[in-house]
Amino acid sequence: VIQDFYQRGPKSQAHYERMKAVVPGGLQHNLGISKPFALAYQSAKGDKIYDIDGNEYTDYLMDGGPIILGHHFEPLDAEVVKLISERGPAVGLTHENELRFAEEIVKNIPSVEMVRFVASGTEADTLAIRLARVYTGRQKIVKISGNYHGWSDQLTLSINFPGTGAMDAAGIPPECYQNTIEVMQNDFDGLARTFEQHKGEIAAVLVEPTGGHAGTFLAHPDWNKALREVCDQYGALLIFDEVISGFRLSLACGEEYYGVRPDLTVLGKIVSHGYPSAGAVGGPKEIMQYCHPSQVGGKEAFTAGTMSANAIMVTAGYFSLKFIREYQAIEKSAAYANRLTNALNELFATRKDLPFFAYNLQSIVHVETACYNGISLVENPAARLPEAMQRYTVVQTYALALMTRGVLPLGDRFYCCMQHDEDSLRKTLAAWEYVLTLIPAD
């Protein structure tokens, strides 16, 4: 597989060697595979990416989730180009599309009355917990193990490896975690215990409603409901991080899909279909007003950012939401994801010796390929570091093999867009058939 990969990518490899000299690790965008080298892209269209060596990929990376209309979607790109060429991209004043976009978000998400734009998902999560603290007057935040909320100091606790309790990032003083409490995902008793132990101290629970990493570690069907109940019981806020899931699960986001209403919703790259620089927090006026000092007599959850609500982002955001609705992108990409999931499970059924299975949350398809003591990590997010590390290596190996057959996943994840079609399905299945031939039968 590695040899194949080298043969297909001499130009990407040369690019990577030059990058390594001037960029730590040779890679800034941390989504792609960097071993043996990172792929450099030439162009993208629909569900396809072309690398600089001329290889075509049926893409499921989708820029880490936000692309649901398809790459280089011309009606959307045309609106952004029009903004830049006719009006200028950045002046520092408010813009008509900022107003239209904020109104549109409020219209779509029932729990959201007001919205504040920032410049990334990391910033939006940072603002959401700050708002929760100002609003409740409490300091502690419950973070669910293995859930990802960006790379800010307080929220990097146990990002990747559920239950390790270890810091995942160096360079963060341990005091930064003194108000972050880790609770294992799907641990209903642990959740109740934590709230009892810290009565009156917990400002909010921050959670990916899908379960960690967009559902790589799947949430128990009752998990979000349990979070809502415990928050209500103890007077804490429930914050849904929908940086990935918002506008993929539904135009009304996870609150419709899961039937649980959060107090605050965090949105990210999906709100502008991958255009820079996107992030937003939405919620009821009663909480959101603390974003601005004039509203609350100086008691402010301080927010700033030169890039917040920049004209490119709000234009791309407003029009992508419009096109997602008009083109029924959520329904179409989810229908494709259902077909892909079923077809993969039929294929995996031909290899009963392997623990592989596929599942999907609307247009987010996951393939679980690892099992420990007969239980997959999906069912058992409490598994510890060695298993999680082992799983990660396994996933990366399959991803590399798929790439040599022209399919580009994000680890175990396959984000679908509305332009994936029968041809994409056929190519994806052929690539997986190849992966299965690499694994000797028991």
Residue 63 in the binding site for ligand PMP (CB under 6 A): no
The answer for residues whose C-beta is within 8 angstroms of residue 359's C-beta and 6 or more apart is 215, 218, 341, 365, 366, 368, 378
Q: Which stretch binds ligand PMP (CB under 6 A): 80-88, 144-152, 351-359, 379-387?
A: 144-152
Query: How many Cβ atoms sit within 10 Å of the Cβ of residue 88?
Result: 9
Tokens at 112, concatenated:
């959201």
Residue nearest to ligand PMP (CB): 121
**Looking at beta carbons only, is 5 or 217 nearer to ligand PMP?**
217
List b or e across 134-145, with b for residues whose CB sees 16 or more CB atoms inside 10 angstroms. bbbebebbbbbb
Residue 412 in the binding site for ligand PMP (CB under 6 A): no
Any idea of the CA torsion for 420, 426, 432, 433, to the nearest 10 degrees? 180
Interface with ligand PMP (CB under 6 A), residue from 51, 63, 104, 241: 241
* Shortest CB 202 distance to ligand PMP, Å: 20
Interface with ligand PMP (CB under 6 A), residue from 135, 148, 195, 336: 148
Q: What is the DSSP string of 42-79?
A: EEEEBTEEEETT--EEEE--GGGTT--S-BT-HHHHHH
Residue 120 in the binding site for ligand PMP (CB under 6 A): yes
In this structure, are strands 264-267 and 237-241 parallel, antiparallel, or unpaired? Answer: parallel
Residue 70 in the binding site for ligand PMP (CB under 6 A): no
Which residue, chain included where needed, has tokens 């973070």? 143
* Shortest CB 327 distance to ligand PMP, Å: 24
Contact 111, 284 (CB under 8 A): yes
Residue 185 in the binding site for ligand PMP (CB under 6 A): no
Residue 150 in the binding site for ligand PMP (CB under 6 A): yes
Residue 149 in the binding site for ligand PMP (CB under 6 A): yes
Interface with ligand PMP (CB under 6 A), residue from 122, 154, 185, 419: 122
List b or e across 100-120, with b for residues whose CB sees 16 or more CB atoms inside 10 angstroms. bbbebbeebbebbebbbbbbb
Number of residues that bind ligand PMP (CB under 6 A): 14
Residue 269 in the binding site for ligand PMP (CB under 6 A): yes
Tokens at 399, concatenated:
């991803």
**Looking at beta carbons only, is 121 or 406 nearer to ligand PMP?**
121
CA angle (73, 74, 75) in 5-degree steps? 100
Q: Which stretch binds ligand PMP (CB under 6 A): 74-82, 142-150, 389-397, 415-423?
A: 142-150
Residue 125 in the binding site for ligand PMP (CB under 6 A): yes
Q: Which stretch binds ligand PMP (CB under 6 A): 108-116, 237-245, 408-416, 424-432?
A: 237-245
Q: Which residues bind ligand PMP (CB under 6 A)?
A: 64, 120-122, 125, 148-150, 208, 241, 243-244, 268-269
